[in-house]
Chains A and B, each alone.
Chain A
Amino acid sequence: MTMFMGTALAWLDRALRTVGIVCLLAVMVIVFCDVGARYLMNAPFPWSYELIGMYLMPAIFYFAVSDTLAANHHIAVDLLRSRMPVAMIRIVETLGSAAMACVFMALVWLFFGSAFEKFRSDSVVMGVVEWPSWIPDFIVGLGSLLVGVRLLGRAAGHLLSLLTGRAIVELPSSGSR
């Protein structure tokens, strides 16, 4: 069951981060072409500002946050950690992961709820085009759900490791991450 969950999370991470990479490269291409079109043809893309701000930037962050956590890429200060006993590190990881999971799960509840309401009412943001307003909320909810589940798994893993004395999940690598 644990292995299945781990595999499923890794697969979802890969899928979402691929979307994040596409969004990142799309921002580069759109802004580059926008500036070029403005100076060469006096015809900038009027939709680029809204598309990037509303959809692409949230996707770049929320679709990568779980993968970044899995890759230990979130920066942390480990001055004291290297001197802590393993049991203490497990306790800190359990509490920290559980607390952060609560924060992300609160976002899931808030944003999936609001995305559903906006989708049902066909809510749009008026701009150059009518932008469906449920999409950004859905992006936040989906990314938060994935990282929330990952954090809950981490919290449970560290707690079980602490209670059983077996390393069910590895400790985060030392060094600034």
Chain B
Amino acid sequence: MLAAFVVALLFLLLAGGIPVGFALSIAGVVGLFAHGGVPLLAGILSTTSLSTVSSYELISIPMFILMAEFVILSGIADSLFKSAAIWVGRVPGGLAIATALSGAGFGAISGSSTAAAATLSATSIPAMLRQGYEPRLACGVVAISGTLAMLIPPSIALIIFGIVADVSIGKLLIGGIVPGVLVTFTIVLTVLYLVWRNPAHAPRGPGYTFAQKLASLKGVWAMIVLLGFVTGVIYAGIATPTEASAMGAAGALGIAALLGRLGPKQLHTAALNALRSSCMIFMILLGAHIFGYFFALTGVTPRLVAGVSALDVPPWAVITVIIAILVVLGCFLDQIAILVLTVPVMLPVVMALGYDPIWFGVVMIVAGEVGMVTPPVGLNAFVVARYANRPLSEVFIGAWPHVLAHFVLIAVLVAIPQLVLWLPSRMQ
């Protein structure tokens, strides 16, 4: 009864627009106070408030965000779309495919899907519209391509999953590579199908010589080397994700300095942005920990696990229901909020069914991608509509074919878990 009241309070606070981290903290504090009074509450606050943010492993979050800020500062992100457009602009739907590829590239830089969607909106939508692309197709592909940032390493969402679920962050990041490539291919194939059905929706662009194509890589090679290095050292076991994140940030700082884009003002702005974004995430983690203590004390999770385990249904049916819940939550809540709210409850159920936590983390993120472009509040759709100054309905309708394609891909990932688990199993 108390647990139901506190969960209802949490959703009331969230619906009222109270920041996610604050809402979790308030609901957790109320629950702990009601459960054990002041001594229990004081004991948990005095340990959780410091232990949550003093974890060494947590530094990968501010460091990867800082790396993204420095890469954006260096102007490399802008060159990504131009280069991709030169390479594939001639094929049917070439600019839309270039958007998907640069979305994957930007995802590798930023780890933030909304930042990726905003940047892609500013560069690729005007280019597609100028070339005569159907606006819905253009907006839809940008919205869905932005979500790749949640999956392709370094993904902040996967790092948060690793922290909340206490799972190897390195394996999670490497586990996101193959599904990230598959999602990119899914977007490309969906674009090709849409263009095959109606070629007038995506006129072909001009062709370029091989020399021009090679020259276009000049603006992005440094980023490719940096990202290859960061992912490579994690995969090879040379450095932990924590160490790789700091080396990536330092490398991106060096690139920005070499390209002459780094002055004191730019350094301050990049660091301040990274500080605020990290603080926002830490606040959510702190709230989740306080709320998590309350949930653990009430014993809701073990009862749920026991209840689901006793059900006479096949495991895939339970997974299907869980994915459906994640997609629906993704339509209303931010991905980080979904992770901290659902992982402590869902992961024990999934593991009791015999599934791997690394696999579940990646599938969870892919399901969350769908929510990001689905009405009523798919965050990426809002970002694209706002930055590209297009009607929101146009973005939602344009993203719909991609949503269907994503459902097919999720089914494939559920049917063949090795697609996620093979690469992490080869790590040093």
Chain A: residues with CB nearer than 8 A to chain B?
17, 20-21, 24-25, 27-32, 34-35, 49, 52-54, 57-58, 60-62, 64-65, 67-69, 71, 73-81, 84, 89, 92, 96, 99-100, 103, 106-107, 110-111, 114, 136-137, 140, 144, 172, 175-177
Q: Does B337 contact A (CB under 8 A)?
A: yes
Contact between B42 and A28 (Cβ–Cβ < 8 Å)?
A: no
Q: Which residues of B contact A78 (CB under 8 A)?
A: 17
Contact between B332 and A57 (Cβ–Cβ < 8 Å)?
A: no
Contact between A77 and B279 (Cβ–Cβ < 8 Å)?
A: no
B174 to chain A, nearest CB (A): 19
Contact between B63 and A28 (Cβ–Cβ < 8 Å)?
A: yes
Give the residue of B13, B42, B246, B276 whose beta carbon is less than 8 angstroms from that of A27.
B246
**Bound-complex Cα distance A107 to B252 (A):** 37
A59 to chain B, nearest CB (A): 9
Q: Does B230 contact A (CB under 8 A)?
A: no
Q: Mark B276-304, 1 if CB is under 8 A from A, else 0.
A: 11111011101000000000000000000
Select from chain B the residue with minimum beta-carbon distance to A144: B49
B125 to chain A, nearest CB (A): 19
Given the contacts A17-B272, A31-B243, A110 and B21 also touching, CB distance less than 8 Å: no
**Bound-complex Cα distance A84 to B249 (A):** 42
Q: Which residues of B contact A62 (CB under 8 A)?
A: 53
**Bound-complex Cα distance A62 to B53 (A):** 9
Contact between A76 and B17 (Cβ–Cβ < 8 Å)?
A: yes
Chain B: residues with CB nearer than 8 A to chain A?
13-23, 25-26, 29, 41-42, 45-46, 49-50, 53-56, 58-59, 62-63, 66, 114, 239, 242-243, 246-247, 249-250, 253, 268, 271-272, 274-280, 282-284, 286, 332-334, 336-337, 376-377, 379, 382, 386
Give the residue of A29, A52, A111, A177 whose beta carbon is less than 8 angstroms from that of B46.
A111
Q: Which residues of B contact A25 (CB under 8 A)?
A: 271
Given the contacts A77-B334, A110-B45, A31 and B247 also touching, CB distance less than 8 Å: yes
**Bound-complex Cα distance A17 to B332 (A):** 32
**Bound-complex Cα distance A58 to B58 (A):** 11
- What are 9 A-B contacts with C-beta separation under 8 Å? A21-B271, A24-B275, A30-B246, A53-B56, A57-B58, A64-B279, A65-B279, A79-B377, A176-B382
Contact between B49 and A111 (Cβ–Cβ < 8 Å)?
A: yes
**Bound-complex Cα distance A20 to B282 (A):** 14
Contact between B63 and A27 (Cβ–Cβ < 8 Å)?
A: yes
Contact between B275 and A17 (Cβ–Cβ < 8 Å)?
A: yes
Given A75-B334, A75-B337, 5 other A-B residues pairs in contact with their CB atoms under 8 A: A24-B62, A28-B63, A30-B246, A65-B283, A103-B45
**Bound-complex Cα distance A100 to B21 (A):** 10
B36 to chain A, nearest CB (A): 15
Contact between B283 and A103 (Cβ–Cβ < 8 Å)?
A: no
